[in-house]
Structure 1
Amino acid sequence: MHLNLKPRNHLPKKMRPKRLGATISLLLFMICLPILSVAGMELLERGTLHETVQWITSNRSLFLLNVAISFCLLAFIYAVVGSLAISGSIATLLLGLMALISYMKVKMIGEPFFPWDILLNKESMDIASLVTGKAALLRIGAVVIAVILVFLLKWVLPRVSLSIVSRIGLGLFSLYALYAFAIKTPLAGKILDHIGVNEIVWNQKENYANNGLALAFTLNVKNSIVQKPETYSDQSIATVAANLQEVGMQKAGVKKSVDADSLKGKKPNVIFIMSEAFWDPTLLTNVKFSEDPVPTLHRLQKESTSGYLLSPQFGGGTSNVEFEVLTGNSMSFLPGGSIPYQQYITKPVPSLASYFADQGYKSMGIHSYEGWFWNRNSVYKELGFQSFKSSEHFVNPEMKGYFISDAEVSRSIIDEVDKTQDPMFMYTVTMQNHGPYDEPRYGENQFKAQGDLTPEAKTILETYAQGAHDADQSLQMLIDHFQESDEPTMIVFYGDHLPMLGLDYQVYKEAGFIQTSNANDWSLEEVKKMHSIPLVTWSNFDMPKQDIPLLSDSFLGAHVLDMLHMEKPANFKLNAELAAQVPGLLSNLVVDANQELHAEVPESVQALRDDYRNVQYDLLFGKQYLAEHIDHDYLTKTIQDSYNAEFDEEHVPPQTQGVSNNTPTEKPVSAQ
């Protein structure tokens, strides 16, 4: 690398100090700005100067590694742009935005900013609108000021230019260094091991807190690619297939749990309803309501098969719950914070939708929000749905709060079932009760909360309870309709995750439901409570009542197929085998058959857990060995040629403004 100036011997003596000053300015700028940038990023995310200084002084090597990554980013931009001040302002803006987004995500759903979040397109832009408090605005202001100050250095710094050869060399070096740490090449791995970097992929919040934002973000790049399990092979999958075939023969004579006479020779409609953020607010400790906000839920818990689902998400990430339920796969085998709908489902993947289609059902997805969200338009096609009815295909829908009402969704379910001759498998996702809940968007809330809550927490909880009540009543609307129908119908109703009731788990903490807002310090029992969602079922035909203490979302499909006494395909059959031993499976919590809690899978179940992980890898990323041994047609089913033909644009009237019920200006939705 050399400055594009005359050789030293040919420079006039009076110019040599200027050249030296310019070189010193370049070096100081390239060293000091990354140091300040990393300190600023950590301050933005950690929130206090004390915590930031404590982390820097306690983790000097990690701090310097974060600085090195920031330096490489700055150097690469400088190599491309060629101006110190402009390059510095761009680097400051990028790093500042990274810290801001990570801060907002942690506040909202307890997860930092991941590399794959960049793929969220519109969803990623929705975060800022939901965090507009004083702390967020101060951070935004700080980033803007920092960018402006760095840019103003354009008129202060001496003009320095590098030759084109030097810029190319600097750019290539910087880019390779970033690549090496992102992919963790052998040399980078040795450096990370020498420094003592401990990457905690199963707890990303702690990972970022320990290693620093820039380093943790960079290390997560490689997690966008799921590593092949060490035990995955054609032989291991063949063994799994053989075991499943043996299990199938052993259970061939099991007594049916469905009364065939009550079905009148018809296949039952199977309707899954995943209600946005639906939960039972009466479970909150030290809080009472003026009246029961969810009476239908509580009645069904006494009368029908019911229990709790263990969700992999809190406060957001709805599509990950869909992924688990529809495919039977588990988020616990994927990188923390990953989003399969955005990252992994780019080809046909066997699911409940494709299975029911094979059984003569019409498989339909319904979601009362826009089809692009979480890439559902494309993903539902790959999962084998015949059609997908998103908000664009609702005509003159009733609005309540910010979104299409839950009652409108129930009416849509009834309409689609009544006009379809074939039995239906329907997977429905509602939207009305999506957060935030800090404004009384329904006008006067019917349900008054009593307890030791701040006025802000009280408003949030009452607004949420009103929405939960509407979801509860929309379920009752469906029951009332199908109770009188001659079509046998089963409804499976549950939420996707607990609601985000204020930042930093505000309502949960004030109500005494958890002891701390730091999720890293939760007990296993608290982790279980913060991920347990009510599940209720209903049918208009005879079905024995079952109590389900706890069941992971990924095991729900297998359980429902068992309830209907339908033959399970291979992957769901394996789910049922594992669920019998560990019904609850998260990356940081395992619940065994005795309802005892573990941080890791018990040794006695690890082999079966490995089979489950290998099959999941085989279906999503591997060579589809399983299909060579069992259920070939189902496991290799292609997309439906007529996907969404009934909702082609030319056949659908344009959506008009819906009937509003106390509807304020619509807020964009977070990446939920």
Structure 2
Amino acid sequence: MVREWGWALALVAAWYVVAQWGIHLFFGVGPGSGAWARDLAAHLLIGAVMFAMARSLARFAVAMGVLFSAFTLGNAIKLAVLGGPVMPDDFVAARNLFLLLEGWQLWASVAMLVLPPAFLAWMFAWRRPQAWAVLGLALAALSALLAQPAPAGAWLDARFGDWVWNQRGNYEMRGLPLHLVQESVRNFARRGAAPAAGDVDDALALLGSGQPDPFLKAAAGAAPRGGRNVHMIVLESFWDPTALNAAGLSADPFDPAFRRLWKAAGHARALSPVFGGYTANAEFEALCGFPVKTDAVFFEGRLRRDVPCLPRHLGEAGYRSVASHPNAAPFWNRINAYHRVGFEQYWSARDFVLDDMNGEFLGDASLYRQVLERIGPQLDGAQPVFNYVLTYFGHLDYPLNERRPERITTTDDNPLVRAYANTVYYKSRELMAFLGELRRRDPDAIVVLFGDHLPSLGWNHGGYVESGLLAPDRAEFDDEMFRTLVATPLVVIDGRRGPLRTGDLPIYALPALILDLLGDGRDTMLRFTARSNDVVRVRPLPGMHFAVEGRQLTVCRGGERLPGCEPSTAWVEAVDILKRDLFSGAQHALQAPARLRALQTVELEAADIAPESALEAGAGDPQPEA
């Protein structure tokens, strides 16, 4: 028996050495040298628990290899493509892989998700009491850890560290098992009670709700013109490849017409919450006016209430709101999420003729044509339209069909850079053809278009590193790299006035800007994050944020005391309170004006002062309104 235990632990150690060598060689990732001992110890502990439940050494060896390899490989791929390790929320979102992939990639993903539990069941000694006792002890230990997540998380952070703004750094100093345990405990600790009404009122007051808006000045001078159609076009992975100076592009991939349009808009950029993926977070911001700052898809588990986001807010003014995205309907929980934010109709892959496929992605020209065929008859109707289009063409790994031959060549050896440049060549031209027709038929409409996030151009920021735009590791970023990481082209067209010079805007600022252009002055949560007395254009990101004021960029990393970060940090915390209240809490913020007026009346009556006379005399400070 002792010999079998020795063999079991030796197998774990041997697997560990080979696995770490493999992910370093093929993906350029792995735990830091200072974490090897604790990471190996964590794997040995898990291996020991598994062997104590195993039917035989042979079955243990197979199950251990499958389980550890699936986690390690999945984590390495996410690190290399998106720059961050596997997080607890990824297990909830894993089912989306089945909707996104096809062919060998689909089957490989199915295997990574299905085989580990299957082999664990095959390994387990179902008739041995000792195996059930060990399983019970393991579950009891896990339950005890999660029963008190806040103190457990604090102890783990003190023992193993927490690099608040750099999850890749956390993985590198902890190793994968400890990282997953630590972040799972943190996830449970965040699921506390929803914000109380008093906390919500304090957050609203800090944000300056109801104060004059000093930021979104693009609409200044425009007469209120409600009832105009609104078209929002979210462009998959749309970005300017000419910034890749080391790529040796043979020509500018952008359509010259788009280049002129973007120049007229002052080369404005949308500041996205994500890099390389998680499009749904950019969508949430564009529709609901609140930033996402967690490394998880907000649509998947954090949007739990019906909310007056832009589609519902416009719907209350008589608009018909339609969302179009030629992907599988339930991807990123869009069926439920679109319903909660107020869309009346959602056209997904099953509603489009898939007649121009590039791999599994419908070409933009076909998508635009079919959308225009459906909404075209309504553009001149009595009911205005909110037309929301999310493209799918342009998704990694940037395939093109035979009708889209390669037009751009490169001198570097990064095939993704060349493939992406050619994808942008067609995306920009198909966009401008659609935009020309749309503006001809609907000249007074508001049109907002922006890229959802930067494209992934190879392991560890690949093509960006070659051109000096990004570092391979987040820990090596300078301040400007954080802005580069999330900045995509943005164009806002105010009907016949043409493109506006908005400057760089966080995506969550777009709903308030649209309402300003419509002259819509109704009370709305969509302006909560667009108004403040102290903070200008803050871009929250996981564990950090940066603030842009004029030409000044201030990067504030979580866990570090940095000069000039206090106002923006307080702003981010206040917004987080409102976001939890509105999207998964009691929605006190939606009743704040009535509640505050009632509170004021009670206070005045207690002082035996008539509300009207007190207001006329200017008694007291003005109360914030939502």
TM over 0.5: yes
Alignment-derived partner of residue 69 in structure 2: 96
Matches within 5 A, 1:438-449: 444-449=405-410
Task: Report how far residue 200 of structure 1 moved.
Answer: 3.1
Alignment-derived partner of residue 537 in structure 2: 583
Matches within 5 A, 1:447-486: 447-449=408-410, 451=411, 453-454=412-413, 457=414, 459-485=415-441
Of residues 18, 24, 34, the one that matches 2:2 is: 24
Q: Could you list the per-position Cα deviations for residues 55-106 of structure 1 after superposition, in whole angstroms to 9, with x for gaps in the alignment?
A: 466653454244334444x15xx53x64443244223312210111111222
Task: Report how far residue 285 of structure 1 moved.
Answer: 2.3
Q: State the TM-score, normalizing by the size of structure 2.
A: 0.80
Give the secondary structure class of the aligned counterpart of 1:377.
Answer: helix
Alignment-derived partner of residue 308 in structure 1: 269
Of residues 173, 196, 202, the one that matches 1:239 is: 202
Q: Could you list the per-position Cα deviations for residues 172-205 of structure 1 after superposition, in whole angstroms to 9, with x for gaps in the alignment?
A: 11222344456665785586367x2113353221
Q: 1:559 to 1:372 in 2, by over 3 A?
A: same
Matches within 5 A, 1:243-642: 247=210, 257=220, 259-260=222-223, 267-286=227-246, 287-304=248-265, 307-332=268-293, 334=294, 337-395=295-353, 397-400=355-358, 402-420=360-378, 421=381, 422-437=383-398, 444-449=405-410, 451=411, 453-454=412-413, 457=414, 459-485=415-441, 488-514=444-470, 516-542=471-497, 546-567=500-521, 569-578=523-532, 581-587=535-541, 588-600=544-556, 602-630=565-593
1:166, 1:173 → 2: CA distance? Answer: 11
Report the AA paired with residue 133 of structure 2.
Answer: G
1:542, 1:511 → 2: CA distance? Answer: 37
Task: Report how far residue 389 of structure 1 moved.
Answer: 0.5
Q: Does 1:60 align with 2:37?
A: yes
- Contact kept, 8 Å, 1:229 with 1:614, in 2: the verdict is no
Q: State the TM-score, normalizing by the size of structure 1.
A: 0.75
Task: Report how far residue 114 of structure 1 moved.
Answer: 2.4
1:242, 1:151 → 2: CA distance? Answer: 55
Task: Report how far residue 241 of structure 1 moved.
Answer: 4.3
Q: Does 1:174 align with 2:138?
A: yes
Q: Could you list the per-position Cα deviations for residues 486-526 of structure 1 after superposition, in whole angstroms to 9, with x for gaps in the alignment?
A: 56311111111111123333222333433x42232121212
2:360, 2:154 → 1: CA distance? Answer: 51
Q: 1:241 to 1:49 in 2, by over 3 A?
A: closer
- Contact kept, 8 Å, 1:274 with 1:495, in 2: the verdict is yes
Give the secondary structure class of the aligned counterpart of 1:324.
Answer: helix
Report the AA paired with residue 230 of structure 2.
Answer: V
Task: Report how far residue 26 of structure 1 moved.
Answer: 4.7
Q: Could you list the per-position Cα deviations for residues 273-306 of structure 1 after superposition, in whole angstroms to 9, with x for gaps in the alignment?
A: 1111001112222444335533233211233475
Alignment-derived partner of residue 119 in structure 1: 92
Gaps of 5+ in 2: 557-563, 596-626
Give the secondary structure class of the aligned counterpart of 1:586.
Answer: strand
Gaps of 5+ in 1: 1-22, 155-159, 633-672
Q: 1:192 to 1:38 in 2, by over 3 A?
A: farther
Give the secondary structure class of the aligned counterpart of 1:89.
Answer: helix
Of residues 167, 189, 202, the one that matches 1:204 is: 167
Report the AA paired with residue 519 of structure 1.
Answer: R
Quick check: 432-441 or 534-543, which moved more? 432-441
Alignment-derived partner of residue 81 in structure 2: 108
Of residues 85, 92, 112, the one that matches 2:58 is: 85
Alignment-derived partner of residue 644 in structure 1: none
Alignment-derived partner of residue 653 in structure 1: none
Report the AA paired with residue 5 of structure 2.
Answer: L
Quick check: 601-610 or 311-320, which moved more? 601-610
Give the secondary structure class of the aligned counterpart of 2:160.
Answer: coil
Q: 1:30 to 1:182 in 2, by over 3 A?
A: farther
- Contact kept, 8 Å, 2:505 with 2:537, in 1: the verdict is yes
2:314, 2:137 → 1: CA distance? Answer: 53
From the CA coordinates, give the structure whose radius of gyration is larger.
1
Q: 1:462 to 1:29 in 2, by over 3 A?
A: closer
- Contact kept, 8 Å, 1:364 with 1:386, in 2: the verdict is yes
Q: 1:46 to 1:190 in 2, by over 3 A?
A: same
- Contact kept, 8 Å, 2:285 with 2:507, in 1: the verdict is yes
Give the secondary structure class of the aligned counterpart of 1:331.
Answer: coil
Paired residues, number: 572
1:96, 1:610 → 2: CA distance? Answer: 38
Q: 1:115 to 1:185 in 2, by over 3 A?
A: closer
2:57, 2:43 → 1: CA distance? Answer: 20
Report the AA paired with residue 519 of structure 2.
Answer: H
Quick check: 97-106 or 590-599, which moved more? 590-599
Task: Report how far residue 446 of structure 1 moved.
Answer: 1.7
1:283, 1:437 → 2: CA distance? Answer: 18
Give the secondary structure class of the aligned counterpart of 1:599.
Answer: strand
Q: Could you list the per-position Cα deviations for residues 144-170 of structure 1 after superposition, in whole angstroms to 9, with x for gaps in the alignment?
A: 9xx99x999x9xxxxx98985433321
Task: Report how far residue 392 of structure 1 moved.
Answer: 0.7
Quick check: 86-95 or 350-359, which moved more? 86-95
Report the AA paired with residue 92 of structure 1.
Answer: G
Report the AA paired with residue 575 of structure 1.
Answer: T
Q: Could you list the per-position Cα deviations for residues 359-384 of structure 1 after superposition, in whole angstroms to 9, with x for gaps in the alignment?
A: 21111111021212212122211221
Q: Could you list the per-position Cα deviations for residues 242-270 of structure 1 after superposition, in whole angstroms to 9, with x for gaps in the alignment?
A: 6778625899xx99647559x5xx61111
2:267, 2:377 → 1: CA distance? Answer: 29
Identity of aligned residues (%): 21
2:269, 2:533 → 1: CA distance? Answer: 14
Task: Report how far residue 50 of structure 1 moved.
Answer: 12
